[in-house]
Amino acid sequence: MKKLSLFIFSMLALAAVQAQTVDEVIERFLQAHGGKERLNSITSLQVQSSLNLEQMGITITINNIKEKNKLFRIQSSSPMGGEESYTIITDTVGYSYMPAMNSPMGSTEASLTKFSPEELANQAYQKDCAGYFGQLVDYATKGSTAELTGTEKVNDTECDKVKLKLKSGQEMVFYIAQNNGQVKRLQVPGAVALELMGMSNAMKAFGGASRMGDRKIAIDYEKYKIFDGFPFPTKQSIQLGPMQLVIENTSIKVNQPVDAKWYVVKGA
């Protein structure tokens, strides 16, 4: 009888898990990250991060600036010093700037590239500043669709997998912890992963991004801390073959004025 009761309990628990909807999982995420109304109240998000390449003795500083419906800019210091590279997207245009570089890996001239309409549409999600994972907030209103695609453990944490298809057709898979609603992993195409981590321009300069093709990359998020009342991950990492890139978020500002310098496009 005891074994039968345990079996029935297990079947009921399994049925309950299977019965949950994608919106219930996303609601758990929303509550864990401050609630939908508070996330939608964010008008600007400014994140400063550092990437330490210990084997090379180099630290790269990354600034990620968002102003709601107006601006996205991600700017990275150069491993060789000198000018910084950046991507900027406003409500009408987008540019990618790469300074001149000389290194043992090769040399490039400074370039400013204007996005095509397709490229601009594909990166429109970058302007979403409703928290660190704004794409999930009011996803249907933004023209996206979502579905549950199973469960999987991330560093011993059981997660629900939510596949989000953006209006542009791009797909992102969010691994949302069952115990606390935090995003533990995001799986995206390699080029998108580099864009999100501020490494896109540097990799493009030497052809690294193009070699990835459609390969999927997982970004892991850890060490959540509270900034201005919102929980944000302070560590994110990706594995590129034998090399692991780890970025530490050192400063996160919410709803603070955005300096006009971030709107400047050199050479445009």
Tell me the pLDDT of the chain averaged across its residues. 84
pLDDT digits (tens, 9 = 90+) for 55-73: 666 788 999 999 998 999 9
Task: Determine the Cα–Cα distance for residues 31 and 239; give it in Å rounded to an integer.
Answer: 30
Domain range enclosing 232: 25-263
Taking the mean position of all CA atoms in its chain, how far away is CA 27? Answer: 19
Domain membership of residue 268 (yes or no) is no
Residues in the chain: 268
pTM of this prediction? 0.84
Say what percent of the chain tops pLDDT 90.
58
pLDDT reported for residue 20: 82
Taking residues 179-184, report their average pLDDT. 96
Domain membership of residue 194 (yes or no) is yes
Taking residues 5-23, report their average pLDDT. 57
Strand partners, 112: 97
Domain at 244, CATH number: 2.50.20.10
- Whether the pLDDT of residue 158 is over 60: the answer is yes
Domain membership of residue 16 (yes or no) is no
Q: How many domains does the chain have?
A: 1
Nearest CA-CA partner of 75 in 85, 66, 67 = 85
pLDDT reported for residue 164: 97
Structure-token match 């609630």, residue found: 35
Structure tokens at 238: 């990706």
Domain membership of residue 181 (yes or no) is yes
Domain membership of residue 6 (yes or no) is no
pLDDT: which is higher, 4 or 242: 242
Task: Determine the Cα–Cα distance for residues 208 and 137; give it in Å rounded to an integer.
Answer: 32
pLDDT: which is higher, 170 or 1: 170
Domain membership of residue 67 (yes or no) is yes
Domain membership of residue 18 (yes or no) is no
CA distances from 98 to 30, 137, 192, 247, 261 (A): 36, 32, 18, 21, 17
pLDDT: which is higher, 204 or 96: 96
Strand partners, 2: none
Domain membership of residue 89 (yes or no) is yes
Taking residues 117-146, report their average pLDDT. 92
List of residues 6+ apart from 173 with CB closer than 8 A? 149, 161, 162, 163, 164, 186, 187, 188
Say what percent of the chain tops pLDDT 70.
81
